[in-house]
Structure 1
Amino acid sequence: MAHDWQTQKAETFATFKEGARGVKLPKEAVVVFYFLAEEVKPQWAAAETALRERGFVTRHDADQIEARTPTAIPITAEAIWEWEKAGTEEVIGFDFWPDGWEIED
């Protein structure tokens, strides 16, 4: 089944709008993206290598990869979506799926 990029983008923008309600967001910050493993034996090394080559800083735990932007990025829905899309493009072929993001303190 093909990945639904439009739905993912809409969810990112909705999450940003909802999360920004009543909160003062920084102009720039590091953002952490989460990619959930869909396989019993996922291809951790290949997925993390692909993310690192795209500029992310990575680590993983039992079932997900955390991929951080290498430096602070503008905290806008558009900028977050650009990085989320880039990360998703890298890991989707290794059976990892986007599972959210957060602004790092």
Structure 2
Amino acid sequence: MSHDYKAQKAETYDSFAAFAADAPAEATITYQFYPEDVDANWDGLQKALAAKGFRTARDDEDELLDAMIGPLKISADVIWKYEQLATEIALKFDFTPDGWGLLED
């Protein structure tokens, strides 16, 4: 089954438009990914994301991986650029994207 990047991109742009007026000019973007398998390759995913400039963190129960990048100037285009990159990497390791958030520095 192929991933629907078009729908994911539309959702990202819609989400950003909903709060664009209140969005910070610069922030760290955090993308969240869930493993599709109990034997998911967390270390491989973290290494691959780090090679592209992301910092990563797991939750305590290994149910969620955060991939962070920035601080960056915030726009829908910037959010999507890095979301697409992180998603392409995550899918190779059987992780599913589950949204993003902004952290002001």
Question: Normalised by the size of structure 2, how large is the TM-score?
Answer: 0.91
- In structure 1, the gaps of 5 or more residues are none
Q: Distance in 2 between matches of 1:47 and 1:24?
A: 32
SS in 2 for 1:59: strand
Structure 1 residue 19: Cα displacement: 2.9
Percent same amino acid at aligned positions? 37
Structure 1 residue 93: Cα displacement: 1.0
Q: How does 1:53-64 map to 2 (within 5 A)?
A: 53-61=51-59, 62-64=62-64
SS in 2 for 1:72: strand
Q: 21, 24, 27: which one pairs with 2:25?
A: 27
Q: Distance in 2 between matches of 1:31 and 1:72?
A: 7
Q: Show the counterpart of 1:81.
A: 80
- In structure 2, the gaps of 5 or more residues are none
Q: Deviations along 1:49-77, whole A, 9 cap, x unmatched? A: 110001100011221110100x3112100
**Root mean square deviation, CA, Å:** 1.1
Q: Show the counterpart of 2:7.
A: 7
Q: Deviations along 1:33-56, whole A, 9 cap, x unmatched? A: 101111112110001111000110
* Letter in structure 1 aligned against 2:52: R
Question: Normalised by the size of structure 1, how large is the TM-score?
Answer: 0.91
User: Once superposed, which parts of structure 1, at least 4 consecutive aligned residues long, lie more than 3 Å away?
Assistant: none
Q: How many residues align?
A: 102
Q: Distance in 2 between matches of 1:6 and 1:24?
A: 25
Q: Show the counterpart of 1:102.
A: 101
